[in-house]
């Protein structure tokens, strides 16, 4: 037999075996559902594993300014500024705090301190608040070391 005929027979045999039912299951195996796998999000392994660390910021000295503005998406942005005395800081955050007062949101204004310097600096941060979170809210409290800044709505 010529070589091309043997090649053709082998090709037909292999193609027929893959489309035929499985001997043990009597039906072809179903493919796994790949809809749950997002190729843009890498799988975690020992090297790429993320270890979320607890935020280690400290309260800033004093909150000087706070403003609530509406966005084009009908969400709100809470902007807060404060003074840091005799230090350099980074990574400012408004961290939610539970409060017993009704119709009130309370946040702690914290930042991570790096070094000591003899000058006052202003630091600013902002968070997004949805309309559901602001339903029935009368005031927003922002806590610092020395005072609690009150923003009435």
Q: What is the pLDDT of residues 76-94, one digit of tens each?
A: 999 999 998 877 888 999 9
Residues 76, 129: Cα–Cα separation, whole Å: 5
Which tokens sit at 137?
């809210």
Q: List Cβ neighbours of 117 (8 Å cut-off, separation of 6 or more).
A: 86, 87, 88
For 21-30, how does the pLDDT look when each residue is reduced to its tens digit (9 = 90+)? Answer: 555 555 555 5
The pTM of the whole model exceeds 0.75: no
Q: 38: helix, coil or strand? A: coil
* Any domain includes 3: no
CA 52 to chain centre: 11
Domain range for 72 is 58-152
Residue 132, domain member (yes or no)? yes
Number of structural domains found in the chain? 1
Tell me, yes or no, whether 70 lies in a domain.
yes
């Amino acid at each position: 037999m010529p070589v091309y005929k043997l090649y053709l027979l082998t090709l037909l045999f292999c193609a027929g075996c893959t489309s035929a039912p499985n001997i043990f299951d009597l039906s072809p195996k179903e493919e796994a559902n790949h809809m749950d796998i997002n190729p843009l999000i890498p799988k975690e392994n020992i090297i790429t594993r993320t270890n979320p660390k607890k935020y280690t910021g400290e309260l800033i000295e004093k909150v000087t300014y706070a403003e609530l503005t509406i966005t084009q998406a009908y969400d709100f942005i809470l902007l807060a500024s404060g003074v840091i005395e005799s230090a350099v800081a980074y990574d400012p955050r408004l961290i939610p705090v539970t409060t017993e007062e009704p119709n009130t949101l309370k946040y702690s204004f914290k930042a991570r301190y790096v070094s000591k310097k003899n000058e006052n600096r202003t630091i600013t941060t902002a968070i997004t608040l949805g309309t559901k979170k602001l339903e029935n809210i009368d005031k927003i409290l922002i806590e610092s070391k020395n005072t609690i800044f009150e923003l009435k709505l």
